[in-house]
Amino acid sequence: MAVPKRKTSPSRRGMRRSADAIKAPTYVEDKDSGELRRPHHVDLKTGMYRGRQIFTKKTEE
């Protein structure tokens, strides 16, 4: 049976457990298209960000 050679310190244990607190990413409904997108991110389908056109739409190929 495998036995740890040294005791895990509270700091190292806490660093390992820090990933447990990571939450799923949030999404908001876009006002124009009604689709879900990440907050504070450019909508990749329309190219809009905060009401401004950042880049042209993607074309279906």
- List Cβ neighbours of 27 (8 Å cut-off, separation of 6 or more): 36, 37, 38, 39
Q: Which residues pair with 29 in a beta bridge?
A: 36
Q: Which residues pair with 48 in a beta bridge?
A: 53
Distance CA 36, CA 47 (A): 14
Distance CA 39, CA 3 (A): 46
Residue 36 domain-assigned (yes or no): yes
Whether the model pTM is above 0.85: no
Query: Quick one: pLDDT at residue 32?
Result: 77
Query: Quick one: pLDDT at residue 26?
Result: 92
Instruction: Give how many domains the chain has, as a whole number.
Output: 1
pLDDT digits (tens, 9 = 90+) for 24-50: 889 998 887 788 889 999 888 888 888
Residue 6 domain-assigned (yes or no): no
Residue 2 domain-assigned (yes or no): no
Residue 26 domain-assigned (yes or no): yes
- Phi (first) and psi of residue 48, to 5 degrees: -95, 145
